[in-house]
Amino acid sequence: MGAKVLIVTRTFGRYSQEPLNFLSRNGFEILRSENLEPSFLKEVDALIVGTNPVTAEMIESSNLKIIAKHGVGVDNIDLEAATKKGIPVTITLGANSQAVAELTIAFIFALARKLMIAHEKLFKNRKWEGVVGYEVGGKTLGVIGFGAIGREVAKRAVCLGMRVLVYDPYASKETIEAHSAQSVDLETLLKESDFVSIHAPLTEETRNMIGEREISLMKKSAFLINTSRGGLLDEDALVKALKEGRIAGAALDVFQEEPLPEDSPFFDCPNLITTAHIGAHTVEAIYRMNMMAAQAIVDYFNKKIPKHVVNREVVEMLKKMGFEE
Ligand code: NAD
């Protein structure tokens, strides 16, 4: 038997057999698990992982050669430990940008037209009552983080007739302007936007970047959307702001603790839409993520440098070991 791949992501191969067949055709033995136990990583050569934590301890005691993240946010993987062991960590860059951007746009419409409230009134309460919302055209969208997803959101918002403001200290003014958006500082974005949408990665720099002070800068009529990572947002501050009507509403796909605990204060919040981290959950995005993760592993074992390695130091190590680009 060939190398062993452990898959710890429920959606791998669920909507198409092709990603599993692709690994089998290339001689891999496939193992699956719902949980990630450190002992499993001693028995396998490669790991395909979604959001389960892959700690330094797990990596150090493992026999892993490659970790393929099924997604793009690598905050659950200890990159330093992987780099120390010369383990490349790949991501499925761009595979889910469209899916997350479309969910963000869906949130914008749902918040603006109060769709959840309208549905509840008629469907649950059997009350034929009007609900008055707002139009999205002509409003201002603030995009925090102008990477693959932020740009896809901006493109769609511009088509809807929205003015788009961007805060991203690492994106050039030219790139932002090329998307018909305007580069601004965070304070301006928060003060001027009708919708604020977070698309930055979770890092030590971005943790809790939207807290009480930032929310207090937003308009009372504005909405906050987070499809990035729960850790970017001070959740207590948001709960307080929603309960006190400091902002008009929010939509969250991601939380500091996932699954969201049953006693979460979010369940008592008005004007809040929640989804269970489904940003990348479209059949199309799942297929792309499946295939890109599988391809990274096949490439590695064919001594080719896989695409989208995030710990770039390892690429140099692989080159020295004779891996082809
Ligand atoms: P990306 O790396 O392409 O873009 C991230 C952008 O954030 C970059 O342009 C970067 O310069 C910017 N950034 C970094 N630090 C910043 C800061 N302090 N302030 C403002 N901007 C900053 O990543 P992406 O593909 O656009 O994904 C963004 C995030 O979305 C991921 O890190 C991930 O956490 C999250 N995500 C969530 C889902 C979901 O299912 N809800 C799916 C995919 C990705």
High-pLDDT (> 90) share of the chain, %: 98
Specify if 240 maps to a domain. Answer: yes
Mean per-residue pLDDT, 138-147: 98
Residues 264, 116 share a domain: yes
CA–CA separation, 65 vs 309, rounded Å?
Answer: 13
Question: How many domains does the chain contain in total?
Answer: 2
Instruction: Give me ligand 1 centre to Cα 307, in Å.
Output: 18
Is 325 inside any structural domain? no
Cα atoms in the 13 Å half-sphere on the side-chain side of 185: 4
State the pLDDT at residue 28: 98
pLDDT in tens, 200-246: 999 999 999 999 999 999 999 999 999 999 999 999 999 999 999 99
Residue 105 lies in a domain: yes
Model confidence over 1-19: pLDDT tens digits?
Answer: 689 999 999 999 999 999 9
Q: List 144's β-bridge partners, or say none.
A: 167, 198
Are residues 89 and 236 both part of a single domain? no
Task: Give me 81's structure tokens.
Answer: 């430990």
pLDDT tens figures, 192-202: 999 999 999 99
From the candidates 156, 179, 277, 288, give the one annotated as an active-site residue. 277
Residues 289 and 231 in one domain: no
Instruction: From the candidates 37, 258, 284, 324, give the one annotated as an active-site residue.
Output: 258
**pLDDT score for 1:** 62
Domain assignment of residue 309, given as a range = 4-95+283-320
The rounded distance, in Å, linking the Cα atoms of 234 and 72 is 22
269 lies in the same domain as 288: no
**Are the CB atoms for 10 and 280 separated by under 8 Å?**
no
In a domain, 171, yes or no: yes
Q: Give the pLDDT score at 41.
A: 95
Q: What is the mean pLDDT of residues 247-257?
A: 98
Tell me the C-alpha distance between 101 and 2, whole Å.
Answer: 38
Q: What is the mean pLDDT of residues 127-156?
A: 97
Whether residue 164 sits in one domain with residue 85: no
By the 8 A CB rule, do 312 and 43 touch? no
Which of the 8 DSSP states describes residue 274? E
Q: What CATH number is given to the structural domain containing 81?
A: 3.40.50.720
pLDDT in tens, 255-300: 999 999 999 999 999 999 999 999 999 999 999 999 999 999 999 9
Mean pLDDT of 14-33: 97
In the sheet that holds 46-49, the strands lie side by side as 29-32, 4-8, 46-49, 66-69, 89-90
Nearest-5° angle of CA 213, CA 276, CA 97? 80
Let me know if 162 is exposed, middle or buried by CB neighbors in 10 A (0-12, 13-18, 19+).
Answer: buried
Is 64 within 8 Å of 314 (Cβ atoms)? Answer: no
Question: What's the predicted TM-score (pTM) here?
Answer: 0.93
Q: Choosing from 156, 229, 235, 288, which is the catalytic residue?
A: 229
Q: Taking all residues of the chain, what is their mean pLDDT, rounded to a whole number?
A: 97
Verify whether residue 229 is a known catalytic residue.
yes
Give the model's pLDDT for residue 2. 86
249 and 159 fall within a common domain: yes
Residues 6+ away with beta carbon under 8 Å from 301: 2, 3, 26, 28, 45, 46, 65
Same domain, 78 and 157: no
Give strand pairing partners of 4: 29
- Active-site residue flag, 25: no
Q: Buried (b) or exposed (e) across 235-273, using 16+ Cβ within 10 A?
A: bebbbebbeeebbbbbbbbbbbeeebeeebebeebebbb
Which residues have any ligand 1 atom within 6 Å of their CB? 71-73, 96-97, 100, 144-150, 167-171, 199-202, 205-206, 227-229, 253-254, 277, 279-280
Same-domain status, 147 and 196: yes
Residues 89 and 177 in one domain: no
